[in-house]
């Protein structure tokens, strides 16, 4: 564990100093490719291999905070992301959702070559994936997330209630058991980009049911529903929404 922490500190130092050269441990790995939604027989969220092991592991938030140190250069201290949505807010997200996304990146079902080096086995173990997820899930949400223009919220609400509410919840609280992410408190820019990618087939680990729900959305529809989601109340937990 000590050598992993040392590697993280070294990497964080290089990035913080504006360095363009990453240590060999983080610069060498190339993300693999695994069949996704574009492939016949694709099964969304198939729970096997590392994903299953991480889901079964008991996450330790204290260890997770240490393992997350190298991620703070992009996701920020406390994992708020950035208001432009270049990096998502991870604070308060369901651990199950975080584990799914991290292991999908590791497997190559979600294309994220810039994040992959930080999730390789050499840097983060399967246990540490569970630890990081536990740490992030317990972080507080804050009301300073990026939001859209606010000029078509009625249309956004209409679309959300019709197509999104069943899975993501009335208040955007998501569903940990169903692996549906919390969307309340998320940055508008990130919601907009990911919704477009899901609609257009670029998010290869997407839920086919969601693709079917939004595949006929116009760009203005996507903007409206992303804006509405970014304004959903953040103080509602999944348990209190029932």
Q: What's the chain's average pLDDT?
A: 89
CATH code of the domain made up of 2-137: 1.10.760.10
Whether 174 and 97 have beta carbons less than 8 Å apart is answered as: yes
Q: From residue 159, how far is each of 10, 88, 241 by CA, in Å?
A: 46, 22, 20
**Residues comprising the chain, all counted:** 242
- Domain(s) labelled CATH 1.10.760.10 in the chain stretch across 2-137, 153-241
Q: Does domain 153-241 have CATH number 2.60.120.10?
A: no
- Residues 83-123 pLDDT 10s: 999 999 999 999 999 999 999 999 999 999 999 999 998 88
Whether 103 and 152 have beta carbons less than 8 Å apart is answered as: no
In the chain, what are the helix, strand and coil shares in percent, each to the nearest 5?
A: 50, 0, 50
- Residues 140-171 pLDDT 10s: 999 999 999 999 999 999 999 999 999 999 99
Distance in angstroms (rounded) separating the CA atoms of residues 102 and 136: 13
Q: Is the pLDDT of residue 236 over 70?
A: no
Least confident of 21-30, 105-114, 116-125, 207-216: 21-30
Q: What is the pTM of this model?
A: 0.88
Whether 198 and 205 have beta carbons less than 8 Å apart is answered as: no
Question: Whose structure tokens read 């330790």?
Answer: 60
């Amino acid at each position: 564990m000590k050598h992993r922490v040392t590697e993280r500190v070294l990497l964080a130092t290089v990035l913080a100093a504006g360095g363009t050269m990453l240590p060999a441990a983080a610069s060498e790995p190339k993300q693999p490719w695994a069949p996704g939604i574009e492939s016949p027989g694709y099964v969304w969220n198939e729970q096997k291999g590392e994903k299953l092991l991480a889901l079964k592991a008991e996450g330790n938030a204290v260890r997770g905070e240490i393992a997350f140190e190298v991620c703070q250069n992009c996701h920020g201290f406390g994992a708020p992301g950035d208001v432009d949505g270049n990096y998502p807010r991870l604070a308060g997200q369901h651990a199950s959702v975080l584990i799914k996304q991290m292991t999908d990146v590791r497997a190559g079902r979600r294309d994220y070559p810039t994040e992959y080096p930080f999730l390789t086995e050499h840097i983060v173990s399967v246990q540490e994936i569970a630890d990081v997820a536990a740490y992030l899930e317990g972080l507080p949400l804050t009301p300073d997330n990026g939001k859209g223009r606010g000029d078509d919220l009625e249309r956004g609400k209409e679309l959300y209630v019709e197509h999104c509410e069943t899975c993501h919840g009335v208040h955007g609280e998501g569903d940990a058991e169903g692996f549906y992410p919390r969307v309340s408190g998320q940055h508008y820019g990130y919601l907009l980009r990911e919704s477009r990618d899901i609609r257009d087939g670029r998010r290869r680990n997407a839920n086919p049911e969601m693709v079917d729900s939004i595949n006929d959305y116009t760009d203005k529809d996507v903007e409206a529903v992303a804006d509405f989601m970014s304004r959903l109340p953040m103080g509602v937990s999944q348990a209190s929404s029932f």
